[in-house]
Chains A and B, each alone.
Chain A
């Protein structure tokens, strides 16, 4: 027999899965202190949503041919006592604020326990600082009526309301989505193309699109991911030429070149360079391994080559980073 509390927890899981199925990846489930199988399922759902949500954004980040829209997810105007003065209509949907009464609640009413504390600390910090203009990012988790969690990076700003002569707070968060209009047009184009399939193939109206494109199937993606893992696992060793690499993973040079860029947003060699430098940066910051040795461990052929690449990526030299990290540790 399920106790009422377990039933309630399962109900929330149902709710989030329905949201998920309808294409809403914004929410998360609230965690409890319990350590049972239901809690494990909650953890799994939260992590899965995170992965899926990010892969949508990732697609957006890499694919430069797409257009994207940023729009306001949340917008609150508060007075310094935390009373909500105004908010955008989308909040009603997102946080499921239904009745008028709830709109009169303090801002922190909509936050999770952890975020309530974070907000309290932030508020006490800003009331004690002398700067009258605040512009700061704070990650806050909002609680919906259905006990789902919406975590978002908010920009908190203050301004002086000229009419009332009082300080006000603005809390905003921005969401990036694919331009749906663009998506609809793409669909329309695809459908039109499909119906004209047997007719003479026309050139695409966008001349900027590459005329030749490799079609990546699931197995190609798997192979390219294999190359990615191979690079990550062998940063210290020289990388074989692309053609050899492609063949050893059962694909061809063109697919690897094009597919890698599509999946990871950069060319194979640029990716390798960046990952080597990323590793080098950690070794410089947190170990005492000599720079010469760091260059060698991370696969650079010579120290000057390493130094130059490092400076180019980060804008400061490896030596400066070591000096700074060393000072921080003292």
Chain B
């Protein structure tokens, strides 16, 4: 794992901070179970250093995610997040995000987009200014 000030790269994703937004980009073909979910939350929080952030999450690389992982990401995974924009751009991640948004309860605003521009515009409506 590389950790250069505001960038982390793990086996599963890349994380970096730009202004008020933390970018999480999953790697291609990632299979998320609870163990992986815990690692992802841990990496994100270590980068955030206790400060809340908006999250831009490119989920299009995810191959599958199980129930235990969905539960973990929906609850523990929402800690120190103001709002999340999910980027999905293939039939598989589309279906996963629909399912995730509908079946899990989310403590902070979360929405799925197929275009990065729209996702960023959504996050902009949640900035602190």
Q: How far is the CA of A233 from the CA of B109 in the complex (A)?
A: 10
**CB proximity to A under 8 Å, residues B14-42:** 31, 41-42
Q: How far is the CA of A40 from the CA of B60 in the complex (A)?
A: 13
- B45 neighbours in A (Cβ, 8 Å): 282, 286-287
State which of A31, A41, A229, A282 has its C-beta within 8 Å of the C-beta of B79. Answer: A282
In the complex, per-residue mask of A225-241: 1 if CB is within 8 Å of any chain B CB, else 0: 00011001101000000
A43–B79 CB distance below 8 A: no
B75–A43 CB distance below 8 A: no
- A114 neighbours in B (Cβ, 8 Å): 31
> Given contacts A39-B92, A47-B67, are A288 and B79 in contact (CB under 8 A)?
no
In the complex, per-residue mask of B54-85: 1 if CB is within 8 Å of any chain A CB, else 0: 00000000011011000000011001100000
- B107 neighbours in A (Cβ, 8 Å): 232-233, 235
State which of A47, A228, A279, A287 has its C-beta within 8 Å of the C-beta of B96. Answer: A47
B91–A37 CB distance below 8 A: yes
Q: How far is the CA of A279 from the CA of B79 in the complex (A)?
A: 7
State which of A40, A43, A54, A286 has its C-beta within 8 Å of the C-beta of B42. Answer: A286
Is A278 close to B, CB under 8 A?
Answer: yes
Is A44 close to B, CB under 8 A?
Answer: yes
- B105 neighbours in A (Cβ, 8 Å): 228-229, 232-233
How many chain B residues touch the partner (CB < 8 A)?
27
Q: How far is the CA of A220 from the CA of B66 in the complex (A)?
A: 29
Q: How many pairs of residues, A versus B, come closer than 8 Å at their CB atoms?
A: 67
Q: How far is the CA of A43 from the CA of B63 in the complex (A)?
A: 9
Is A171 close to B, CB under 8 A?
Answer: no
Shortest CB–CB separation between residue A327 and chain B, in angstroms?
Answer: 15
Shortest CB–CB separation between residue B127 and chain A, in angstroms?
Answer: 20
- B63 neighbours in A (Cβ, 8 Å): 31
Is B48 close to A, CB under 8 A?
Answer: yes
**CB proximity to B under 8 Å, residues A275-296:** 275, 278-279, 282-283, 285-289
Closest to B96 in A: A43
Is A19 close to B, CB under 8 A?
Answer: no
State which of A40, A233, A287, A329 has its C-beta within 8 Å of the C-beta of B92. Answer: A40
A40–B46 CB distance below 8 A: no
**CB proximity to B under 8 Å, residues A44-62:** 44, 46-48, 50-51, 54
A31–B64 CB distance below 8 A: yes
Is A99 close to B, CB under 8 A?
Answer: no
> Given contacts A51-B103, A288-B50, are A232 and B75 in contact (CB under 8 A)?
yes
Closest to A226 in B: B105
Q: How far is the CA of A50 from the CA of B75 in the complex (A)?
A: 18
State which of B42, B66, B94, B96 has its C-beta within 8 Å of the C-beta of A50. Answer: B66
**CB proximity to B under 8 Å, residues A38-85:** 39-41, 43-44, 46-48, 50-51, 54
Shortest CB–CB separation between residue A6 and chain B, in angstroms?
Answer: 14
Shortest CB–CB separation between residue B94 and chain A, in angstroms?
Answer: 7
A40–B94 CB distance below 8 A: yes
Q: How far is the CA of A4 from the CA of B124 in the complex (A)?
A: 47
B96–A283 CB distance below 8 A: no
Q: How far is the CA of A39 from the CA of B41 in the complex (A)?
A: 27
A40–B91 CB distance below 8 A: yes
Ranked 5 nearest A-B pairs via Cβ: A40-B91, A286-B45, A40-B95, A287-B50, A289-B50
Residues of B within 8 A of A (CB): 31, 41-42, 45-46, 48-50, 63-64, 66-67, 75-76, 79-80, 90-92, 94-96, 99, 103, 105, 107-108
**16 additional A-B residue pairs with CB within 8 Å, beyond A39-B92, A46-B64:** A40-B92, A40-B94, A43-B95, A44-B99, A47-B67, A47-B103, A50-B67, A228-B105, A229-B105, A232-B75, A233-B105, A279-B76, A282-B45, A283-B80, A286-B42, A287-B49
